[in-house]
Chain A
Amino acid sequence: MAGARGLALKRPSAIPGFGLALGFTLTYLSLIVLIPLAALMLKAASLGFSGFWEIVTAPRTLAALRVSFVISFIAAAINVVFGVVVAWVLIRYRFPGRRLLDAIVDLPFALPTAVAGIALTAIYARNGWIGSLLDPYGIKIAYTPWGIGVALVFIGLPFVVRTVQPVLEDFEREIEEAAASLGASRRQTVFRVMLPSLLPAILTGFALAFARAVGEYGSVIFIAGNIPFVSEIAPLLIVIRLEEFNYGQATAIAAAMLFIAFAIILFINLIQAWQRRRFGQ
């Protein structure tokens, strides 16, 4: 994909419709995405820096941001571990049911978040299939921060698997053979030769899963319990402020989240530039 980009035409084109296509694209993009996002920034700016800062550093806001970011980070880290194992197994091994498993990885993309939320809650509640197994040991998942983690692992998994999978698929076996023929054990080959070249993909997957988790709303609110300072996520706090008609506070929290989201995009682009430089792809 990246290779094709350089090929496009440099000479004047015989193809018609440039003005119409680009004009429509830019108009639609502006109306649907850019102007609304600009309105958000404008509203945030109207609070003034001190106003903005006061809202964002209010204890309840900080607590919600912390819950969102910390749990999203942990969930994305869990997804990296299991996502790499899943990608590895799906690409490298042949076993019955492999293709079914491969297809089901995309379920979190296809299943509406609210449905995922109530289903996970039903499973992890005290009388649920898993909740009832854990309850005797005093472990509670639903209605605690753990529940948020479960929901975020669910929605983030495909990002890691689908980012690592193609890179692993293209990995040249000759490199593994070379490592082995130079005396590396399989463990050394995997951890010191293969994983380092998968690292950019893994980091990208992590960042995508993390970004998605931070903004996630639907699957979390059912299972979280939504207790302020404990299990209240930042997107929920935005909704609560909005329902109080407190647009300023809702906007400030949203703007803070957007800044961080944009920083993550920048981070992903940097990783990908690094990957291209390093592996020429």
Chain B
Amino acid sequence: MSDLAYGLDFVTEDRARSVTTERRPVRVALIVIAVAFLTLFLLLPLFAVFSEALRAGLGGYWRAISEPDAIAAMRLTLLVAAIAVPANLLFGLAASWAIAKFEFPGKSVLNTLIDLPFSVSPVISGLVYVLLFGLQGYFGAYLQSENIQIIFAVPGIVLATIFVTFPFVARELVPLMQEQGIGDEEAALSLGASGLKTFLLVTLPNVKWALLYGVILCNARAMGEFGAVSVVSGHIRGKTNTMPLHVEILYNEYNFAAAFAVASLLALLALVTLVVKVALEWHYADQIAGTNRH
């Protein structure tokens, strides 16, 4: 209908003064407010990270990100994400298969429970594992007698990360697979495909972009998680420090340039995540679930 006119509204002043938009001064004012607000609160911090990171020059920057503790932190962050993301991916597939393809009592409760970790403070996400596996925790004595360390060690960091990134993949897949229904799978099965083959060759290709979408968001959070990991990590330099924790330690030592240098790598990860996310939204909007909430 008035799409074209609407599109050019901003440039061609008051073409037909549409009743479904505001007057030009109001439009301009609202745009200025929105741009100013987003610049002040979102863009400025992003620029600050890179500008502070380069304050000590490129040499200082390179030293900060190549020192052994920083490398160890990067390695641990990658390791944790490499375990947490596939684990939650597997869970997302299982949960969405069960919820979207079958009808069973308690389904909506299950759906709500999956989102639960999003409503729990990151600090509490770490605390629950301390209560279970910490020295004074419910399994503390047993774990100590078996000489297994979970808290203040890598397994605790992995668990806490899995907890906070738990819903990411499932919540992208469930609504999409519900929308797609079971027609394709039934067709494949009736033509003689096995269940596994149906899943791999029919279901997976149907949801691949939503899957990727969920995985990159899950990964960004897994690599960037701070609160939950901070509670279970014990902050042992070079051993149980992930990149965000390494940033904190450097910062608290007033080693600002180094802290921002490592932080800038995390900011780059965030930017790459956003670019991939937007690219997926533009190209495959119809193949990613309708919800746009995280």
Contacts and interface: CB of A to CB of B under 8 A. Distances in A.
Interface of A: 1, 4-5, 7-10, 13-18, 20-22, 24-26, 28-29, 32-37, 39-40, 42-43, 82, 85-86, 88-90, 92-95, 97, 99, 101, 103-116, 118-120, 122-123, 128-130, 150, 153-154, 157-159, 162-163, 165-166, 173, 176-177, 180-181, 186, 190, 208, 211, 214-218, 222, 235-236, 238-239, 242, 245, 247, 250-251, 254, 257-258, 261-262, 264-265, 269
Given A86-B37, A115-B244, A15 B131 contact: no
Interface of B: 1, 6-10, 19-23, 27, 30-31, 33-35, 37-38, 40-46, 48-49, 52, 90-91, 94-95, 97-104, 110, 112-114, 116-117, 119-124, 127-132, 134, 136-138, 159, 162-163, 166, 175, 178-179, 181-182, 185-186, 189-190, 195, 198-199, 217, 220, 223-227, 230-231, 243-245, 247-248, 251, 256, 259-260, 263, 266-267, 269-271, 273-275, 277-278, 289-294
Contacts of B95: 21, 25, 29
Contacts, number: 330
B22 to A, nearest CB: 6
A21 B217 contact: no
A34 B229 CA distance: 19
B274 A104 contact: yes
Contacts of A162: 292-294
Contacts of B220: 109-110
Contacts of A180: 19-20
Contact of B259 (A106, A118, A190, A242): A118
A7 B181 contact: yes
Interface of A is mostly: helix
Contacts of A215: 119-124
Given A85-B33, A109-B294, A162-B293, A114 B49 contact: no
Task: Classify the interface of chain B: helix, strand, loop or mixed.
Answer: helix
A22 B159 CA distance: 21
B110 to A, nearest CB: 7
Given A129-B48, A235-B121, A254 B127 contact: yes
Nearest to B23: A186
8 contacts: A105-B42, A112-B226, A123-B48, A181-B19, A217-B121, A217-B122, A247-B136, A261-B120
A101 B244 contact: no
B292 A112 contact: no
Contact of B128 (A21, A40, A112): A40
Contacts of A254: 121, 123-124, 127
B289 A1 contact: yes
Contacts of B198: 16
7 closest Cβ contacts across the A-B interface? A215-B121, A112-B224, A218-B226, A16-B195, A36-B128, A217-B227, A180-B19
